Structure 1
């Protein structure tokens, strides 16, 4: 309610400012108390939110590392990734292998007989295109009888079977326009062949059966300048051929699975003729995924240090000015939840557990605590442990008694639904709601007080005005009595 009033007519007092001062004096202590409570509560609310977020990030790093499957992963490394790449799953056995890649798997591609152009009618009837043991019958009607129409009909019918057609035209006219057919099926025996039965015209111009590739060592016939429109093989379908530790292998795909149990090879290119002539091999190493485990350990340490940095900023006390300056305290200085959490986590990080090969503390793994409470990795020490104690490492970190499971048990009560921080957050929300309620009550009380004061001061002013009028009347009456000499007439 806005303060209203005026200068007293009878009393001459500044009623408006008097009431304003009295109202402010009454409301100021409570207002300051509520403002202070709201400010402190809001700061704690925000601080607890940051604290909970930092714990959640740390929990994510714990969960990623606390996975036995991480320690079952295997890495596969090719010495020449331009020849082949490799990956391994948890079933792969560690070892070293020698690989040779003689040729990649190929798909079939051929060029049919060249015709004068792509728009003249070729004929109608049925075109049968075979890829390996599968045949596709394509009906060619009058609207499809040109080379362009046949191309479109092949693409429509073959889109689900990996068969496609394009037209290549010789600008000089010597080679004419010709259909080029491609298949996505690699491996021996998957060559394309074409036959037809004509209703009108001559679809038979497009018939073509490639020569037996095994008789010519899969080498396509060279282009014949004397017959530039002749049908020819561009590439034969064939298996990839390779050898592992001297054992010859073939694969219908350039992705070779389970030639080595649990290992997948992806062939990129064949070795050079010189390498093959010299029987050069490419090494393939399969080992535990130590790099992946070390990367997860680094993420764990980074997440812990980030969390401790957040806790440090939320519990920091900053000096201001000289000795008389009141220090600035962060939102969660002295907070019992933060102290309890930090103490529990540090105790777990420093606790020991049974080990048969020297892994009893995080420090044995190369993770040590610094003076500022953060963690630091000794790369050399960690690499040695990963090399010599990899199998024990999983038991040390994971499982019911592993350090990561114990850390999860300490962090879960703080972040889970209905947990410590959620309960405290709800309590702070209730406090903020009560501040709003108290402000409304204060406003109503002050408005009532203001109205009461104005009423009292205005009544007083009216009474003073009345008494002043009576005084003036009496003075005038007395001055007119006989024998009374008025001073102003002397």
Structure 2
């Protein structure tokens, strides 16, 4: 008989519907359960992620508050003279607060030497017909040598000086005066400042005396000084201080002062001064405390949001534990923090709903900084400071081995297991369908055969003599 390709084709019965109904009866409830479980795990994973993100954000802030260096910064407030800026200042955390008056009497400068008149007619004038070696020096530890090739011109010498890899800071230029009796002048400038650090040029041949400050073997030097190297000179509260550069380290202990311009005035009339005030960096501390309050409140709000009645973390014990530990740690007693017995003594308060706020119930933050600035650092970053304790607490939840991370790992693992369960179930449904089709295929064939037999017998009986077909 012909091959049956679809269930029920042979028998005429709606076996496809029967097979589908049999599979759906087992498959649909199971897949609905899988979908519901996936949604539940995904939503819970998202909620845990939101809380963990808020914990990590607060943890970053506590890491900064636990660093005592963030409470040791100093700020320099400068009121420059009306003529313009004369100094810049970089204080360290060790400097004492105070007020100073600073004047700049003299800037540090390097030296400059110039070749003699009529030494060179033009930039094409030959410096040395046979060549030699020039040695440049400034001070005790700055020096480099330069080989002068035979026939080198003045322009070529300038370029060779400027491009030398060992050049310590000598710049060569040529000034073309346009005066035949003066000619082209070689100008060499050294950036090495400080008294006694004048630029020197010596050679190993008399032929190079025209570009030397010291003649070879008793000749005449061609380069003369037009500017000596000099120290910078400032006064701090009237006391004169010198430096070989324009940077003064520890002229005021633990502070660097850089001279920018010479003050207007002189020793007779007096020099204009910059008024310098060194104070605690209150702004950075205030910013950190504001960040702490904002991120703490963000975490409290996030816990409240994710534990509402309709949320997956409603009634979650780890969320209750985190909330309780936060307020307990925040309320811990301070040690060696001056008059501050708790963090709430430095201008921070807690409201009935658990959120933090700036408060002046005991004293404001500004008052605390005015009275005991260093103790604020101890309150947060001291050995038993609140920031260190909170940092440790938050790490127990957000770090790689923390509670929230473990929850995430567990949920992700359950989602992976769920994928396997779905795959296994789908395989079972495929096997069930295959089994049902085999069973119903046999029934289909059997019924088809019976129908054929019935048709055959009916036809035979109809041909028998005296057989009357009923209407």
TM-score, reference length from structure 1: 0.81
Cα distance in 2 for residues equivalent to 1:370 and 1:175 = 86
Structure 1 contact 5–454 (Cα < 8 Å) conserved:
no
Q: Describe the shift of the 1:436–1:188 C-alpha distance in structure 2 as closer, same or farther (beyond 3 A).
A: same
Work out whether residues 264 and 272 of structure 2, in 8 Å CA contact, stay in contact via their aligned partners in 1. no
Matched residues in 2 for 1:390 and 1:341: separation? 31
For residues 457-478 of structure 1, give each alpha carbon's deviation from its aligned partner in whole angstroms, at most 9, with x where no partner exists: 2222222222222323333344
2:171 is the alignment partner of 1:164: yes
Describe how 1:47-62 pairs up with structure 2 within 5 A.
47-62=47-62
Aligned to 2:279: 287
The alpha-carbon distance between structure 1 residues 136 and 422, as it changes in their structure 2 partners (threshold 3 A), is closer
Work out whether residues 130 and 192 of structure 1, in 8 Å CA contact, stay in contact via their aligned partners in 2.
yes
Residue 266 in 1 paired to residue 258 in 2?
yes
Are the counterparts in 1 of residues 7 and 440 from structure 2 also a CA contact under 8 Å? no
**What SS is found at the alignment partner of 2:76?**
strand
Give the 5 Å matches for 1:5-154: 6=6, 8-80=8-80, 82-113=85-116, 115-123=120-128, 124-133=131-140, 136-142=144-150, 145-154=152-161
Cα gap change, 1:276 to 1:65, in 2 (>3 Å): farther
Quote the residue 2:369 is aligned against.
386
For residues 363-402 of structure 1, give each alpha carbon's deviation from its aligned partner in whole angstroms, at most 9, with x where no partner exists: 4322233566443335992111101121322332222322
Kindly state the Cα deviation for residue 407 of structure 1 after the two structures are TM-superposed: 1.1
Q: Deviations over 1:319-366 (max 9, x none)?
A: xxxxxxxxxx44544433233212321333345547886523434322
The aligned counterpart of 1:465 is: 448
User: For the Cα contact (< 8 Å) 1:40–1:331, is it kept in 2?
Assistant: yes
The structure-2 alpha-carbon separation of the partners of 1:457 and 1:168, relative to structure 1 and needing over 3 Å to count, comes to farther
Measured after TM superposition, the shift of residue 442 of structure 1 is 0.8
Q: CA RMSD in A?
A: 3.1
CA-to-aligned-CA distance 1:142-175 (integer Å, 9 cap, x gap):
15x2112222333355735222323344578786
What is the DSSP-based 3-state SS (H/G/I as helix, E as strand, rest coil) of the residue aligned with 1:166?
A: strand
Report the Cα distance in structure 1 between the residues aligned to 2:456 and 2:34, rounded to whole angstroms.
54
Structure 2 stretches lacking a partner, 5+ long: 215-221
How far apart are 1:448 and its partner, in Å?
1.4
Q: Structure 1 residues 171, 333: closer, same or farther in 2, change over 3 A?
A: farther
Task: Determine the C-alpha separation between the residues in 2 that align with 1:290 and 1:403.
Answer: 19
Are residues 405 and 349 of structure 1, via their aligned partners in 2, closer, same or farther at CA, if it must alter by over 3 Å?
Answer: same
Helix, strand or coil at the partner of 2:233: strand
- Cα pair distance change 1:67/1:121, threshold 3 Å: same
| Structure 1 residues 374 and 171: alpha-carbon distance in aligned structure 2, compared to 1, 3 A threshold | farther
**Which residue of 404, 410, 413 maps to 1:427?**
410
Tell me the TM-score normalized by structure 2.
0.84
Partner SS, residue 122 of structure 1:
strand
Task: Give the whole-Å Cα distance in 1 for the aligned partners of 2:165 and 2:199.
Answer: 13
Find the counterpart in structure 1 of residue 211 from structure 2: 206
Secondary structure of the residue aligned to 1:203 is: helix
Answer whether contact 1:366 1:381 (CA < 8 A) is retained.
Answer: yes
Report the counterpart of residue 330 of structure 2 in structure 1. 349
For residue 184 of structure 2, what is the aligned residue in structure 1? 177
1:255 corresponds to 2:242: no
**CA-to-partner distance for each residue in 1:274-302, whole Å, 9 max, x for gaps?**
79824543322223333332232223223
**1:63 positional shift:** 1.4
Residue matched to 2:219: none
2: CA distance, partners of 1:5 / 1:360: 87
Deviation at 1:9, TM superposition (A): 3.3
User: Displacement of 1:269 after TM fit?
Assistant: 1.1
Cα displacement string for residues 192-229 of structure 1 (whole angstroms, at most 9, x for unaligned residues) = 23344546xx43233447xxxxxxxxxxxxxxxxxxxx
* Cα offsets for 1:181-200 (capped at 9, x unmatched): 1222111111223344546x
Q: How does 1:218-233 map to 2 (within 5 A)?
A: 233=225
Return closer, same or farther for 1:259/1:434 CA change in 2, 3 Å cut-off. same
Equivalent residue pairs, number: 451
